[in-house]
Amino acid sequence: MKMNLLRATFFLLATVLLAPAFGQKERANKDYETGAYNLAVRNYLSLLERRPSDYDAMAKLADSYRYLNQFEEARSWYEKVIRDDNLEGEQMFNYALVLKGLGQYDKARQWFMAYARANKEGADKGSHYAQSCVFAKSQLGQSSPYLINNEFVNTTASDFGPAFLGEDQLVFSSARADLQGPGPSWTGKSKNQLYMARISSRGFLQDAVPLRSRLRENFINIGPVSYGPEMEEVAYTKNNFIDGTRHIPTGGLDLNIAFSAINANREWTDEFAFPFNGADYSTAWPCLSPDGNTLYFASDRGDSFGGFDIYKSQRMGGNKWSAPENLGPVVNTPGDEISPFFDGEYLYLSSNWHNGMGGYDIFRAEQSAGRWVRIFHLGNLINSSRDDFGFIYDEPSNRGYMVSNRPGGKGSEDIYKVFKSADNVVMHIRNASDGTAVPYATIDFLNCGEGVFKADGRGNYNFQAVAGLDCDIVVRADGYKEAMFSLSTRRLQQNRDYDIMLVREGESIEGEILDYQSRRPLSGVAVTSTNQATGASFETTTGQEGLYQLALAPNATYTIRYSRPGYRDINRTVNVGDRYDPNLLGTISMLPTDSPTQAPAYQPGNVQTKSADPAPPSNPVQAGYSVQVAALSKPGLESFQDLTNIGQVYSKRENGIYKIRVGVFATQAQARQALGTIKAKGHKEAFLVEESGGSGR
């Protein structure tokens, strides 16, 4: 009896002592689940004073600090759980995210891989983020085309959602308390308001004031916004962002898009909702295209590839919009893509899945024939290990703005001015003979003081070229001759795309070009070959010896054009057989445009000239070496057309005999090579002669 009484007393005492802790954890968990992370932090800290070994509370406390952008505190609490080997599941992944956000890429990669090994369903996600750490580390110290400056109008509160209002004003949202009403409290309720600032001549924001309207009571919990053409319409997000909490989709967001017409006094008039908002998903970050007929936005509706995806909707007239169209897997991922901005050509967005520096990074997507085909990371200055989003940019004025919660700002989210110092350069590595991509080519920047990099599987490589770069880049690939690409960015202020043509070993054939009258080698001739099947073109120029090389694939037909100022253009068609013929291109003679002499009847190959006169002219013949094919009693070159692709066919009259020769070649070695080819064509009696010059007919 006495023992039962003691047990009952102990149970009652334990219940009385532990009840507050259980109630406090329930409150803390509720705050955590509803996104009131500041309140969750306070309650978890109080709980852990009573129950210091509650590892679930520690992990959620750490995660609450992560949502509040307090990564050092988050790391500290995660590592308290790790010390007792109690970190598991998604907690491991979130800890790795914190390490990446702190720029500890090697350690973050280890934990992402540990998460992948320990969680079968999350193996792909863990491996992907581990690889993103390798990418992030590779970006450190790389050049970037963009520079940024923290704006003076920022406060310790959250400042976000920049949008151009004409050419000289910017509208943004802020939770600041210094200009309008009391500051936000941590009750779980959001409070931010639209402000307007003047853009100075240097692009900085000045004189921020609350946006006001006589036709609207307030602009509370609105932003980001996007204005249509002529400022006659505005699309905007109705938000529940909480000051101090990161603007990330997993932070308990409940967002919708609305529109308002704007009258001549810039007053917002009637509001109407975007017809594709939903009760069980968010729709936000609107961007109207420059013509106002397309709306780009982010949403986590059911047909997304992961969380938030970028969609577009077409205006059907008035306030009617087409059903949202997902932009597809080049843009969207299993992660989250937010804050689209379309400038009429490029789409800028932020993603936490595409390989980046950490958190959300800013990317540029490009389209071709109406499809999104490429996406590029904007570099390691505009992006950081934290969240970078809300990018807008005006190319003509080289003026843009973005939002970041990176360390060194004034607090929470800050607005940064963006401008370019150089630009993005894209290299497309192609096979010179047919234009097909050369995958994984090596891009050697050692001459530029940088490293060696690889093109992707489609033969593309992009990099940020800083102003002042002036060097030779070497491109190599197995089975190809290396190519040198000269790049100067001293005045580069726009996007540049370059096709780098590599010549496959065994597909290079040499040709020669001479001045028709003097028979001297002709340098500086632009030679362009176009593959008739693929349309791929390869360009080269003759050197001092009049020699050039073209990449010609077996069993292909090419149109070849020869062009040089002061000379008549020549076009020819060349059919390449299945066997390599080093003499296929032979010697071409070009006629000066100011010469009264007409072009020759027999040009190498299938050549078309502007002359209609077939009579071969009388010209002085240059000294050198030729191949004599025949000796005739009367003129006649018609029987020797099969030799025109080897060299110039001409006749030289000596003692009443017309000697048919092919040449003239500058060196005896070239003449011997031609002799062998001529004999192979059936002219067994041909022989080498030294051409002393004189008249040729």
Q: What is the DSSP annotation of 353-395?
A: SSS-SSSSEEEEEEEETTEEEEEEE--TTT--SS-EEEEEEET
**CA–CA gap between residue 563 and residue 528 (Å, rounded):** 9
Domains and CATH numbers, the chain: 20-139 (1.25.40.10), 146-421 (2.120.10.30), 425-504 (2.60.40.1120), 507-609 (2.60.40.1120), 618-697 (3.30.70.1070)
Q: Which is more confident, 544 or 168?
A: 168
Q: Which of 396-410, 486-500, 591-605 comes out lowest in average pLDDT?
A: 591-605
pLDDT at 642 over 80: no
Are 393 and 399 in contact by the 8 Å Cβ rule? The answer is yes
- pLDDT > 70: what percent of the chain? 87
Confidence (pLDDT) at 598:
45
- pLDDT > 90: what percent of the chain? 42
- Average pLDDT, integer, range 386-401: 92
**CA–CA gap between residue 175 and residue 223 (Å, rounded):** 11
Helix, strand, or coil (residue 169) = strand
Confidence (pLDDT) at 268:
92
- Average pLDDT, integer, range 446-468: 78
Which one of 407-421, 620-634, 638-652 scores highest in mean pLDDT? Answer: 407-421
Which one of 100-104, 453-457, 539-543 scores highest in mean pLDDT? Answer: 100-104
Confidence (pLDDT) at 671:
86
Residue 303 sits at the vertex; the CA angle it makes with 128 and 238, to the nearest 5 degrees, is 95
Confidence (pLDDT) at 333:
95
**pLDDT bucket at 619, cuts 50 / 70 / 90:** very low
Confidence (pLDDT) at 615:
35
Q: What is the pLDDT of residues 262-301, one digit of tens each?
A: 998 889 998 999 999 998 999 999 999 999 999 999 999 9
Helices 90-101 and 55-67, axial angle in degrees (round to 10): 40
Name the token pair of 682: 């059936």
Confidence (pLDDT) at 493:
54
Which one of 6-10, 115-119, 582-586 scores highest in mean pLDDT? Answer: 115-119
Confidence (pLDDT) at 655:
72
Q: How many CB atoms lie within 10 A of CB 581?
A: 14
- Average pLDDT, integer, range 570-596: 83
Q: What is the pLDDT of residues 185-198, one digit of tens each?
A: 433 345 899 999 99
Rounded to the nearest 5 percent, the helix, strand and coil shares of the chain are 20, 35, 40
pLDDT at 84 over 90: no
- Average pLDDT, integer, range 306-316: 95
Predicted TM-score of the model (pTM): 0.62
Q: What is the pLDDT of residues 207-216, one digit of tens each?
A: 899 998 877 7
pLDDT at 312 over 70: yes
Helices 71-83 and 90-101, axial angle in degrees (round to 10): 140
Beta bridge partner(s), residue 220? 193
pLDDT at 307 over 60: yes
Looking only at the bridges linking them, the beta strands covering 496-504 and 423-431 are: parallel
Helix, strand, or coil (residue 405) = coil
- Average pLDDT, integer, range 583-602: 69
The sign of the torsion formed by the CA atoms of 135, 137, 142, 147 equals positive
Place of tokens 């000697």: 659
Helix, strand, or coil (residue 329) = coil
pLDDT at 596 over 60: no
Q: Which of 116-120, 256-260, 577-581, 637-641 comes out lowest in average pLDDT?
A: 637-641
**pLDDT bucket at 401, cuts 50 / 70 / 90:** very high
Confidence (pLDDT) at 15:
44
pLDDT at 634 over 80: no
Which one of 196-205, 211-220, 346-355 scores highest in mean pLDDT? Answer: 346-355
